[in-house]
Amino acid sequence: MSPSNRLSVERSASAADAANPWPGLAPFTEEESRLFHGRDEEVRTLLRLIERKPLTVLFGQSGLGKSSLLNAGVFPQLRATGYCPSYIRLDHSEGAPPPAEQVKAFIRDASARAGTWTKPGVAQPGESLWEFFHHRDDRLVDKNGDTVIPVLVIDQFEELFTLGAGVGAQRDRAVAFMTALAELVENRVPDRVVARLEQSPDDLEAFDFSRTDYRVCLSLREDFLPQLETLAEIMPALMENRMRLTRMTGTQALAAVIKPGAGLVDETVARTIVEFVSGARGGSIERLAEVNVEPPLLSVICRELNERRRALGQAQITHDLVSGNRREILNDFYERSVADLPAGMRTFVEDKLLTKSGFRDNLALETALDEPGVTQALIDTLVSRRLLRLEDRIGVQRVELTHDVLADVVRNARDERQQRLMLEEAQKREQLVLAAAARQARRQRVAIGGLVAAVIALSIGAVFGLRAQRRAVEKAARVDLATGSRLLEEGKVGDGLAYLVSAARRDQDSGVAATRILTTLASHNFSLPVGAALNLSAPTETIRFLAGGQSALIQGEGSRAQFVGETSVGSRAQFVGETSV
């Protein structure tokens, strides 16, 4: 979208009328001049400058209402005094006509509404601006035949140093236009016209070399003055006829609220609004005259308050409506300003243009453009929306919020964003923890499942092992039982009983071995081996036969015991000693 088309869209989107007499962030148009108030002195000054000399330069900081001053303040006065203003916003996009041709097109359009040219058709395509305005006896006249002086008002002239100052053909176009403009305002015949006239001296009569019945007004941001002044060598008039636009005083702002809003706001509430916008806190009329007010910010606050009034069906903007919605009004303004921009640009505004404690800060434009997501186009967008402004400080462009009253709103937005990011980060961490816990739980379930399977396998193995061990014991017991039984049958009672005892111990649940032991003991007599009489030292109390009757422990009185062993019939061994048995 070209600059001129974009401006038209912005104007139509926020057109002012009697029911809503403040255009907000959009500049006032010429049709809205009846609603434009507070700049009377500036309008008179600029009119005098334009009338006095062919070239006038209007400059001021971004966001002070230069476009509104021209369109709604100066243009109606120019028309009333015999001038034909032509508002020009050059299109520097690729494929657009050369700037000089655009200027001529704007002039033709404006002059067609103001009157007619006395020699229509004399102007030729491709001729210079100087030629266009110096055709002899070709004048613009109104319906009464009175001469009308064209005024070329080139707004946003700084775009010639930004959008138009590229490389190659784009730069050549910009240089060519600056040269053509210099020839016009200095009334200097272009070199190519001089060469042609030297070849055809008769064509001298075609031009009026003394004519200056035209005016040029260049409007630009103050921070581009150094670039403009580089043209002073070819255009000395740049330094002669200039006006600097400053912020409104509180008194001017009061007029800008009361006069267009007649019937919508009384003087007391209007003063409250001005104090609100300027950041002042109650004071006299004299004190009000000393404060500074950003005109677009004043306009957007008034527009927001009026929208709220209309939504509530109230006849007037009340004091409560102003004081009760201050933060909300500015918050709406801020959110609309950044809503359609990339997140990185919003982060830049909130993190870089405020101090940590929430006060308005500024940053060198060069540094700002190094920030992620920040571009010149995005900064220009926020400048046009009056959220940001650019100022030249000792040769360095710096970007900042338009006013301190926005600091609280931007700080709150920053805090909410940071809290939201912290919450999102906490939720992400929680999700990671839950995911890790779920993975760990799955691993544990797998491990437990494996362990259970292993335990079951071990249990099954143990059961089978116990059964095998049991079978082995039972088998050994059966072997001992069979061996003992065989020995008993062979008359080897002692050995047989020993095997039977072993079988009984191995298989305690079986009563076979125990029964045979008892039967054997009951059916046999056991006596000491035949041999010499034992010579005991004391009367015997107990005798215990050991190892199948081959040895005996004899205990007598006085705790004396004798162990009698016999390795063969007729032999013996006797041991005597103290015992505690």
User: Do 85 and 190 sit in the same domain of this protein?
Assistant: yes
Q: What is the DSSP letter of 360?
A: B
Instruction: Give phi and psi for 579, each to the nearest 5.
Output: -145, 155
Considering the domain boundaries, does residue 414 fall inside one?
no
Mean pLDDT, residues 2-20: 53
- Residue 419 domain flag: no
- For residues 437 and 574, state if they share a domain: no
The partner residues of 391 in beta bridges, in order of sequence, read 398
Q: What residue type is 311 in one-letter code?
A: A
Whether 399 is covered by a domain: the verdict is no
| Listed residues 225, 260, 294: the one ending a domain | 225
Task: Using the structure block, give the residue that is written with the tokens 């600059």.
Answer: 3
* Residues sharing a CB contact under 8 Å with residue 294, sequence separation 6 or more, in sequence order: 63, 64, 247, 248, 277, 386, 402, 403
pLDDT in tens, 73-86: 999 999 999 999 99
Residue 247's pLDDT is 92
- Looking at the fold, whether 46 and 147 belong to one and the same domain comes out as yes
Q: Is residue 111 part of a domain?
A: yes
Strand partners, 20: 17
In which domain, by residue range, is 96 found?
28-225
pLDDT at site 483? 85
pLDDT-wise least confident of 211-220, 242-251, 339-348, 406-415: 406-415
- Residue 491 shares a structural domain with residue 560: no
Q: Is position 271 within any domain?
A: no
pLDDT of 164 higher than 80 = no
Measure Cα distances from 154 to 89, 129, 168, 474, 546 in Å: 6, 14, 24, 120, 138
Residue 437 belongs to some domain of the structure? yes
Question: Does 510 share its domain with 549?
Answer: no
Q: Does 431 share its domain with 485? A: yes
**β-sheet bridge partners, residue 554:** 543, 562
Specify the 3-state DSSP secondary structure of 393. Answer: strand
The mean per-residue pLDDT over the stretch 460-487 comes to 76
189 and 115 in one domain?
yes
pLDDT at position 166 = 61
Note the pLDDT of residue 9: 36
Per-residue model confidence (pLDDT) at position 19 = 84
Check pLDDT > 80 for residue 573.
no
Question: What are the start-end ranges of the H helices in 164-243?
Answer: 169-185, 191-199, 225-229
Q: What is the pLDDT of residue 99?
A: 92
**Claim to verify: residue 62 and residue 202 sit in the same structural domain:** yes
Q: Are 135 and 122 within 8 A, CB to CB?
A: yes
Indicate whether 79 and 195 sit together in one domain.
yes
Average pLDDT over residues 185-208: 90
| Judgement on whether residues 430 and 561 belong to the same structural domain of the protein | no
Query: Which residues sit opposite 545 in a β-bridge?
Result: 552
Are residue 429 and residue 574 in the same domain, yes or no? no
Is 501 within a domain? yes
Residue 95: predicted pLDDT: 77
Closest C-alpha among 133, 137, 8 to residue 71 = 8
Specify which residues 285 forms β-bridges with: none
The tokens 């002086």 sit on which residue?
A: 149
Six-digit token string for 204: 């001298």
pLDDT at 264: 93
According to DSSP, the β-strands at 149-154 and 83-88 are parallel
**Comparison of pLDDT for 192 and 564, the residue scoring more:** 192
Summarize pLDDT for 96-142 with one digit per residue, the tens.
Answer: 889 999 999 999 999 999 999 999 889 888 899 999 999 999 999 99
Check residue 536 and give its pLDDT.
55
Tell me the CATH number at 97.
3.40.50
Model confidence at 326: pLDDT above 70: no
Residue among 41, 18, 36 at smallest CA distance from 26: 36
Pairwise pLDDT comparison (129 vs 560), residue with the higher score? 129
Instruction: Determine the Cα–Cα distance for residues 344 and 335; give it in Å rounded to an integer.
Output: 15
Q: How many domains does the chain have?
A: 3
- Same structural domain, 505 and 547: no
Least confident of 110-124, 210-224, 430-444: 430-444
Average pLDDT, whole number, for the chain?
A: 82
In a domain, 481, yes or no: yes
pLDDT, greater one: 377 or 7:
377
Among 154-163, 191-200, 348-357, 486-495, the range scoring the smallest mean pLDDT is: 486-495
Out of 206, 225, 244, pick the residue that ends a domain: 225
Domain end (from 174, 196, 225):
225
